[in-house]
């Protein structure tokens, strides 16, 4: 009976009121954000306190880098040591981090 909607919009200016969403599922998004900190803050703005964020990609960082003919570097935004603090500064608390060959999945909760 639950309803959902697919919204195609600019992550820098979401046309939603504060706290309008229970969760955001972002597939393949994080590497394409023009301003990751500001964009993650905007996602936090539209998610209710205690709401969830899922950052997903169907393959892990190493497999994706290999596919594109590059190597992983310590500066990779999706590395746990970079992404955790970035999420924290943006209104999120990372609760789960999985970077496997077959998937990349980070779960976070909106700060209260």
Q: Collect the ranges in the chain with pLDDT lower than 50.
A: none
- Residues 67-83 as b/e (b if ≥16 CB within 10 A, e otherwise) read eeeeeeeeebebeeeeb
What is the model's pTM? 0.90
- Cα 51 from Cα 20, distance rounded (Å): 10
pLDDT value of residue 5: 74
């Amino acid at each position: 009976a639950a309803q959902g909607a697919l919204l195609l919009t600019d992550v820098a200016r979401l046309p939603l009121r504060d706290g309008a969403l229970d969760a955001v599922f972002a597939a393949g998004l994080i590497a394409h954000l023009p301003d990751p900190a500001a964009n993650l803050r905007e996602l936090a703005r539209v998610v209710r306190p205690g709401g969830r964020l899922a950052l997903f990609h169907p393959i892990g960082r190493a497999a994706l880098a290999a596919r594109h003919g590059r190597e992983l570097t310590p500066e990779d935004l999706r590395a746990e040591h970079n992404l955790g603090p970035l999420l924290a500064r943006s209104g999120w608390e990372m609760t789960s981090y999985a970077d496997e060959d077959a998937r990349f999945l980070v779960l976070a909760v909106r700060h209260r």
